[in-house]
Each structure stands twice: as structure tokens, then as C-alpha cells.
Structure 1
């Protein structure tokens, strides 16, 4: 027995896709689709584990109230120091994060829940030696497959029906992000330091998930958001005053090899 997908969907939504550890805003799922978070048991699921409570039932042990999402680093920290991070302390951290960042569940949360539960039947590990594919036609067939890699995180392919799974849609979103970064980074009048990754994080904050993991139905709203952000840059405003375009629309994108707008 373990946590249900329904439970983890709720947990992910209320976490705001952020590690619950105080003073940090580390995502559970990176904007590029990298899974860096883990499901953690407040009271350990097995005897001898940190904060184990023998009075819990199996259902309680894997229920919503006994689970918290943490990045891998802080998961190790809280479990290696159970005296400092008591069950009561973790429950309070969870409540604080839910109050700050909680949101309604979204369709894509089911995908993240499956990844976090380890229930995906197809896992791809990218490393220097190539790809390892489990439970895929022509791939390794075994009850248990142990994979050694120097990477600390798995890169999960976007599910079918998401923007990231659609090659043309994905290319166009990346193009808009690149165009925004090109224009915004050239603005010398900025009061704050420019960050190339900020726009992807803003998309995630606005739509509730990394753009690659959003449903393909969100493609047009995501594009409209990015186009609007491009339009607000100084270069785009200057282009507009001259009657010049600042980006290529999707209908025309890719018609010419190496199209850059």
C-alpha cells in the first residue's frame, strides 16, 4: 500500500510546486521538467524510521496529513535530524506553505503525481552513455532494473497531450522565450539584474506548472502571455513605432529554415 494518485495530486497543488522547507523556494518540478522533489512521510512508513508512529494505520501512514513535499536535499536533512525536525514542526511547515502557495488542482497535476509516485511505466534516464528505457517495446524487460548515473535528477519526458510533447508547439514557445530574453536583456535601463530563467518561472507561476508540462490546450494562452511580455520591452515598442514586427506568429513560424522572426 502507498499514497494514492488522488492524494498526491492534492499535495502537489497545495504545495504550489515548492519545497516546504522554510526560507527556500526550490521547485518540486523544474521548469525544464526535471523532477527534483520527493514525497516525504512526516511519520516514517516503516518501524525504525524517523518519527515513526506505531499507532498509525497503513491508511493514515500514506494519507494526505502524513505527507509533505520536499526537495531531495531537505528531505535528507529533516530525516537525518528527527529531533530538530519533529512531526509537529513538519506539519507546521506544510501548513505554512499551503497557506502561502496553495492553488486548486489542475489537469496536469495527475501527471506530476504519477511521476512522484514512481508509477510511470516508462522512465528515461539521460546520461553520457545514452538512454535507458523501461517497459518500452524492444527495451529491457525485467522486474527490477537498477540504473547507475552520475546525475542526481531524472529528466522526465512530457506526457502525450502536453506542450512539451508537441515538437512544433515546444519549438515555438522556446522561440518566444528566446526572443523575450534577447529584447529584455538588452534593456540597459533595467533597475534590477536580468535573469534569463525568470520568464519561464513567470509562466509557471501564471499557469501553475512548467510550460512543457501544460496541456496542449494551454498553448495559445501561453503564447499570448509571452507575446505580451515581448511587446512590453523597449525594443518591441521601438519596433512597433517603426511598423516592424518583434516576433513571428505561429502560423508563419518555421516556414523558412532557421526562421528567427
Structure 2
């Protein structure tokens, strides 16, 4: 499989100081316990439909040291989802700044870190950002659509890093607001149609393009505000407000009360 060489990633790791290159971020690329929390990011995308793709680049240039930067999973997702904001020039600048701050000569252990970062890169790839799935293992599967046959009624998709569902307190607060809305709206006896307890979650999916748990953590405040507004519009909440009573806790209040 084409991709960056071990020699290139070894140098990249040494120059990264084992930290995410995003300004102000101090998350390690590989934690001391061995957990990989960072990723290899292509400044100019390696595939045609990827962010900041340059058709004039050669394959060697795409996987060269100059076109790569190490980012934590959260910031990798951010820079690739907003290529107009995080341009080639911007990523090149943060790469140079980080290397000047913490870059060091290569060490013997850097080869090990290079190997595991490359292995992590190759575990699962989305080809050309078109929905194809490639699993880098014997009997690799490439498909536009994957049909999963299981005895279970549903297949759970774990929320990736950097999403609301991956942040425990944020996830619990959204669930609390959804439950609060369903409690108030479901108790309204003046409704002309049968109340659907799953409707609010489906509405979020329609409005934001994904299940709330899979939305970027950057959308947390927006989704929270939307749910708070929907709660406030219910008859029970309006009645509570007329009596000077609140109908839901703020995020700060909720986390303080339910702190794990």
C-alpha cells in the first residue's frame, strides 16, 4: 500500500516533540501508556476528493516529510473538515512553528513510534472520500455499501474522538435535555397526534446532517441551545416560567450535580 515511509515518519515524530502541532495543543501523539492519540495528517490530501488536494503533486511529494504534520485526532478532524479555513499555508506554518519549538535529533525509539503510527494510518482508510471502505488486512473489503448481518437488532457505531458522543459529560447532558423534552412534550394532553419520543433525535439528525453523538464537539453548544429552546416551547415549561421556575439545568449545573 502506498504511503509515507518509516524513515519519513521517524523524522516527523522527532521533529514533532511527540505533541500535536495545533497551536496551544499539548496532547501527545503517543501517550506514555502506548495509546496512540495522534494521527499522520496530509497537508495536501493524498486522495483526489480530500481536503487541499493538489493534482500537480507526485505520489512521492504527497507522502513526503514536507507534506505531513502530526495532529491529535480532534484537531486532525477539525482541519480536514474546514479546508478553506485551514489552508495549505496555515498548516505549513503551524508545522514549522512546532518543529522550531520542540524539534530534536532522531532517537533509536523513534523508529518504533514511526512503525505504530504507520500501522494506525493503514488500519482503516476512506478511499477518495467517496464512502468506499478499505480495511488493511488479509481479505480486505472494498465497497460502496457494507451490509452487516448480525443476530442483534442494531449495530452500534462508537463515536469517534472529537465528537459529542466521545465526550462523556457532553453526551450525558445532551441525553438529559432530550429526556427532559420528551418528558414535557409527551405529557401534553392537548396534542392532536401521538407523540413520538424519537422525533427530537431525528430532527437533530435532519438539521445537522448526522446523529447528535457523531457531531463535532464544536457543535455541542449549538445543539444544547436548540434542545433548551425546544424544551422552553413546551406547555409545561411555559407554565413553569410563569411561576418563576426553570425547566432544565445549565450544562455547568448539570455537570456539578452529576459529576462522575
Higher normalized helix content (fraction of residues): 2
Normalization by structure 2: what TM-score? 0.48
Look at both structures and tell me which one has the larger radius of gyration over its CA atoms. 2
TM-score normalised by structure 1 residue count: 0.48
Greater relative contact order structure (CA < 8 Å, 6+ sep):
1
